[in-house]
Structure 1
Amino acid sequence: MKKRLFALALAGVLAAVTLTGCGSLKGDETVATVDDTKIDADLANFFARYTQATYETYYSAYLGEDMWNSDASDGETYEESVKSSVLKSLEDMILLEKHMEDYDVSITDEDKAMIKETTQQFLNDNSLDDKNLVSGNEKTVNRALTLMAVQQKMRTAIQAGADTEVSDEEAAQKSMDYVFISYQTKDDSGNSKDVSDDEKAQLKSQAEAIASGLKEGGDLNTLAEEQGATVQTLTFDKDTTSPEEDLIKAADALGEGESTDVIETEKGCYVAKVTSLLDRTATDSKKSQIVQERRTKLYDDTLKKWRKKADIKVHKDVWKKVSFQKVSVKMKTETQTPYADQVQTDDQAQTK
């Protein structure tokens, strides 16, 4: 499993292309420091290029050719946003590495062997030119994989301290059966459109017939079938918002076996019957979700605490040299021989 995780972290063959003249990036330049630990340009560039490759391979069709100049959020372009996220992740990895002893975490000989193997696979799979553009030298790839292993192990160790006890009361999920009679239909072109007011009145009367039948002890499935409606099942709690907040609010106030009146919305009418105040399967699933949320929060809060105490400095003039607009990087989606005749491997380059 560990080997698979390492392999997935650096899966794929890269194709890097210089688009315009770019400023010279020296691998040993300092992009940032975390206390006394330096993040050099090679390491930052490597992480940035791999993230860039993911975006350009899988999202460029949606974001367009000028994706890196596109607005992301908070007044940032996608390039600024992604680079900021990459650098923060690197800083967090360094902080995790600094606290390994606190959690009795170490990189074992087995880990080191896997890192070495994956590093060599990356070096073999990618051409010399591509590796140079992404700072994919042996030292940098090995360091990147080591930090990723540290992050994985530290996340597990930190999250192990989360409280895993969750009561039924805290996680309780109710269940209901409900019908929805829509005020919308399809036109000849397949587009949705509202029905007429007269049709709405007729549809509402159908919902009222179901609601009335339920109050009299009728079976929802039978009542729904008579009105051409379909019964759906939903597990919920007071924080559920879909399919309709008014439906959830009404059902949440009922006891087991009780049913709602007609709940009319702009889109149609709902009628529901509460079938359980504690759905065992849904409640146990909610418990797992709560535990995972606690683990995630503990991990995030721990890093925030460390970041607050750390002396983190960014050398913006160096980081600026890593430009997604001057170098394009994608994952090669088809199996190709990484070293064409005109491309030198590391060994070929060293023998000249």
Structure 2
Amino acid sequence: MVRFGKKVAVLTLAGAIAAMSVTGCGSIKEDATVATVGEEKITLGVANFYARLQQGQYETYYAGMMGTTGEAMWSQDASDGKDYEEQTKDNIMESLENLYLLSQHASEYNVSLSDDEKKAIKDAAEQFGKDNTDQVKDVVSGSTDTIEKLLELLTIQNKMDTAIKDTETVTADDITDDEAAQKSMQYVLFSYTTKDDSGNSTTLSDDEKETLKTTAQNFVDSVKGGADFGTAATEAGVEAQTATFDSESTSPNSDLIAAADALVNEGDVTEVIETDNGLYVAKLTSLLDREATDSKKASIVTERKQEKYDEVLKGWKEDTKIKVVKKEWKKVDFKDQGITITTSKTSDTGSDSGSDAGSDAGADSGSN
């Protein structure tokens, strides 16, 4: 197996396709069939190019958050006995299948590409060809036809997302207060950890925790006796914070939420709530926070529209024969070919579809 250079620099902007650079050499057969969706073939070229863009997102943004390198990340265990490369490629293939399904059903929603969108896509593909060497295009399957096909699929997906969700006509006015009710509270945390002037954390000893419990209980007694919650918090050396919630909330702490949700009247105060990280106390300030409840209604509308989209897509999948050619899909390997996303210096977005197909960016001629 040919091993490419360890890094490819990918220059992208909001889904736009721009310049790349590679070291080493190697290629795959772009017109090979990697999967079929109904009677339509997904070429290995489209799958490879799309996968490389997704790979770059993970290596650039997620590897550091995980405390590892992109190269090492792909071999780490993910779930279901798979490593991150296998899991990510499974997700990528599912996304590709969805792209093709959405394209196949676009006419049912009167979705098509405008002349401006077609021109923006063509311009982006041509610009990629100008910005990159034949070697680069060979490694990442960056032919004009492949890039145009992918950008067409992504643009249609964006338009279909809106079209399908718009068939769910529920509005915020259709959601009752009871369905969306959000309460509000003030709360404090007496933490079991402290920090010194250098920022180093120390966990309290058992004796110190017992002393802290006494402090927390005195705080409860003071607030229940009529003291202002915020003032009493300051005097106790903690900060009073606010939060809105319902029975399904989990932040800032599920035990705190359960105790606050059990309060009956506005102004009621919980007892001391002991958790793994410290002691909480909460005061119920509203049984129906208007602003938070209205925000929840909007979020319920969004959820229902997403459920409609998922339902439609699921139905198409059940009615369509989909088959992956595993021996071809294996040829897209993340562990031997790294990807890094860099920042575009210029852009010329020629489409309002959301694909931002018409980008103009200079090539990154270096590689790592």
TM-score past 0.5 threshold? yes
Give the secondary structure class of the aligned counterpart of 1:81.
Answer: helix
Which of 16, 40, 45 lines up with 1:42 in the alignment?
Answer: 45
- 1:284 equivalent to 2:287? Answer no
Alignment of 1:264-275 (within 5 A): 264-275=274-285
CA distance in 2 between counterparts of 1:196 and 1:18 reads: 57
1:235 offset after TM fit, Å? 0.9
- 1:55 equivalent to 2:58? Answer yes
Deviations 1:146-175 (A, max 9, x none): 000111011111111233332221111111
Which of 209, 230, 234 lines up with 1:225 in the alignment?
Answer: 234
8 Å Cα contact 2:32-2:43 kept in structure 1: yes
- 1:185 equivalent to 2:191? Answer no
Which of 24, 28, 31 lines up with 2:31 in the alignment?
Answer: 28
TM-score by length of 2: 0.81
Output the amino acid matched with 1:161: T
8 Å Cα contact 2:18-2:363 kept in structure 1: no
Equivalent residue, structure 1, for 2:358: none
Output the amino acid matched with 2:315: K
- 1:142 equivalent to 2:151? Answer no
CA distance in 1 between counterparts of 2:240 and 2:15 reads: 45
1:130 offset after TM fit, Å? 0.6
CA distance in 2 between counterparts of 1:30 and 1:36 reads: 12
Superposed CA RMSD:
2.6
- 1:92 equivalent to 2:95? Answer no
Which of 73, 86, 94 lines up with 1:80 in the alignment?
Answer: 86
TM-score by length of 1: 0.84
- Structure number with greater Rg is 1
1:232 offset after TM fit, Å? 1.1
Instruction: List alignment gaps of at least 5 residues for structure 2.
Output: 1-11, 346-360
Equivalent residue, structure 1, for 2:303: 293
Alignment of 1:249-260 (within 5 A): 249-254=258-263, 255-260=265-270
CA distance in 2 between counterparts of 1:71 and 1:266 reads: 28
8 Å Cα contact 1:103-1:157 kept in structure 2: yes
CA distance in 1 between counterparts of 2:342 and 2:143 reads: 19
Give the secondary structure class of the aligned counterpart of 1:149.
Answer: helix
Output the amino acid matched with 1:125: D
Output the amino acid matched with 2:165: Q
CA distance in 1 between counterparts of 2:261 and 2:176 reads: 19
1:305 offset after TM fit, Å? 1.6
Output the amino acid matched with 2:201: S
1:333 offset after TM fit, Å? 5.1
* Aligned structure 1 segments of 4 or more residues deviating by more than 6 angstroms: none
1:315 offset after TM fit, Å? 1.6
User: In percent, how many aligned pairs have the same letter?
Assistant: 48
Once the two structures are overlaid, the 10-residue window that deviates more, 216-225 or 195-204, is 195-204
CA distance in 2 between counterparts of 1:30 and 1:192 reads: 55
Which of 227, 235, 251 lines up with 1:242 in the alignment?
Answer: 251
CA distance in 2 between counterparts of 1:319 and 1:136 reads: 17
Give the secondary structure class of the aligned counterpart of 1:69.
Answer: coil
Give the secondary structure class of the aligned counterpart of 1:150.
Answer: helix
Alignment of 1:116-131 (within 5 A): 116-131=122-137
After superposition, the Cα gap between the structure-2 partners of 1:334 and 1:242, relative to the gap in structure 1 and judged at 3 Å, is: closer
Equivalent residue, structure 2, for 1:321: 331
Equivalent residue, structure 2, for 1:105: 111
Instruction: List alignment gaps of at least 5 residues for structure 1.
Output: 1-5, 341-352
8 Å Cα contact 1:13-1:331 kept in structure 2: no
CA distance in 1 between counterparts of 2:59 and 2:183 reads: 44
Which of 76, 90, 94 lines up with 1:70 in the alignment?
Answer: 76
- 1:209 equivalent to 2:218? Answer yes
Give the secondary structure class of the aligned counterpart of 1:257.
Answer: coil
